[in-house]
Amino acid sequence: MSWKTYPKVELHLHHEGAAPPAFIRGLAQEKNVDISKVFDERGHYAYENFVHFLSVYEAATSVLRTPEDYARLTRAVLEESAAHGVVYSETFLSPDFCGGGDVEAWREYLHAIEEVADEAEKTLGITLRGVITCIRHFGPEKARPIAVCAAETKGGFITGFGIAGDEGKGKPRDFTWAFDCAREAGLHLTAHAGEWGGPQSVRDALTDLKVERIGHGVRAIEDLALVDELAEKGVTLEVCPGSNVTLGLYPNWRRHPIEQLRERGVKVTVSTDDPPFFHTTMTREFEELERAFGWDAEVFGEITRTALDAAFCDEDTRARIA
Ligand code: ADE
Ligand code: ZN
């Protein structure tokens, strides 16, 4: 079966991480910025490992300098997602890259992104919501103004707050001020954990940040008591199998733990993370999962309903998409 037109819900997508390489190259040329180290000889994003990936990501992002750049990026990202059948998407947006954490500067970026998202909803049939994300390796002090940006701009479009970046740096508890601020503003919460950190990292994110969803979370599989706890509490995992396989967390799709997690009752969903970096699309994720585990329309239907139930949107939006 071809999964390309199957209606999909994607909960874990980094806004800049979805930038097509040609788009970033074009902007770099327009602005006369040398980012040749970001690409390999075939024009693909080039990196050696996860930490290097993060620095290449930031180098690519450095050519995005104005609200208009983000408007163009948003258009490119939504066109690509819609072409793969995505009807609802949440992207991670970091005011670190959009105005440096200043609320008024961030509002201008947000306005530009939201305008394109509104248009895309009408023309492409895809609904976008934004999850403001602080960056773990930038440190807890930098996370505070980002949480303030989130709290100040919470509304129809900005519905969540999260944390991405290098899981090897610091601890979730270092970021409690930022998460408390976002929670008090009424934002939904998610955190990257259990990607490069083990089960304890997932436990810490749940206990210290009180998140509803976990970004990745796959390494919970190393502790079955934690897996059962995730299932019991109904925590949704934003699983990105293609990202995990490409970054070498698992040697191949068959060895990815998404099926074991699902079989043990954990709410799993499927996303692409940073699709052009990992040579994936939502269609490819579905095709590989079908190949690896025999997933069919019934399983993908269950995955899609789980994602929609866990989406950080209001009930009217959820009902309209269902
Ligand atoms: N930022 C972009 N992609 C990421 C990932 N997979 N993990 C952590 N931070 C990220
Ligand atoms: Zn991610």
Q: What is the pLDDT of residue 30?
A: 97
Closest CA to 80 of 19, 8, 14, 17: 19
Could you say which ligand is closest to the alpha carbon of residue 16? 1
Q: What is the pLDDT of residue 1?
A: 76
**Which pLDDT band holds residue 224 (cuts at 50, 70, 90)?**
very high
Task: Check pocket membership of 93 for ligand 1, CB cut-off 6 A.
Answer: no
Distance 14 CA to ligand 2 centre (A): 6
Distance 168 CA to ligand 1 centre (A): 12
DSSP character for 197?
A: S
What is the rounded distance in angstroms from the CA atom of residue 91 to the CA atom of residue 158? Answer: 10
Fill in the amino acid letter for 212. E
Distance 200 CA to ligand 2 centre (A): 18
Closest CA to 215 of 261, 262, 270, 177: 270
**Which pLDDT band holds residue 285 (cuts at 50, 70, 90)?**
very high
State which ligand 1 atom lies nearest to the alpha carbon of 240. 6
Burial of 34 (0-12, 13-18, 19+ CB in 10 A): exposed
Mark the residues whose beta carbon lies below 5 A from ion ligand 2.
273
Which pLDDT tens digit goes with each residue over 99-126? 999 999 999 999 999 999 999 999 999 9
Are the C-beta atoms of residues 103 and 133 closer than 8 Å to each other? no
Domain range 8-311, its CATH number among 3.10.20.600, 1.10.1060.10, 3.40.50.12780, 3.20.20.140: 3.20.20.140
**CB neighbourhood size of 122 (10 A):** 7
- Beta strands per DSSP E along 178-240: 188-193, 213-216, 236-239
Phi, psi of 228 (to 5 degrees): -65, -35
Are the C-beta atoms of residues 306 and 269 closer than 8 Å to each other? yes
Closest CA to 193 of 217, 157, 170, 228: 217
- Calculate the alpha carbon distances from 117 to 8, 11, 144, 274 in Å: 17, 16, 27, 19
Given a cut of 90, is residue 230 above it in pLDDT?
Answer: yes
Q: What is the pLDDT of residue 199?
A: 98
**Which pLDDT band holds residue 8 (cuts at 50, 70, 90)?**
very high
Are the C-beta atoms of residues 222 and 257 closer than 8 Å to each other? no
Which strands sit side by side in the sheet containing 8-14, from one edge to the other? 8-14, 86-93, 127-135, 158-164, 188-193, 213-216, 236-239, 267-270
Show me where the domains of the chain are located: 8-311
State which ligand 1 atom lies nearest to the alpha carbon of 196. 7
**Which pLDDT band holds residue 308 (cuts at 50, 70, 90)?**
very high
- 19-27, long-range: CB within 8 Å, 24+ apart, which pairs? 19/60, 19/61, 19/64, 19/73, 19/76, 19/77, 19/276, 20/76, 20/80, 20/276, 21/45, 21/276, 23/72, 23/73, 23/76, 24/60, 24/63, 27/63, 27/64, 27/69, 27/72
Q: What is the pLDDT of residue 108?
A: 98
Fill in the amino acid letter for 109. Y
Q: Hey, what are 66's tokens?
A: 């104005």
Q: Is 48 a catalytic residue?
A: no
Mean pLDDT score across all residues of the chain: 98
What is the rounded distance in angstroms from the CA atom of residue 47 to the CA atom of residue 53? Answer: 5
pTM above 0.80, yes or no: yes
| From 10, 80, 195, 259, active-site residue | 195
Which pLDDT tens digit goes with each residue over 64-106? 999 999 999 999 999 999 999 999 999 999 999 999 999 999 9
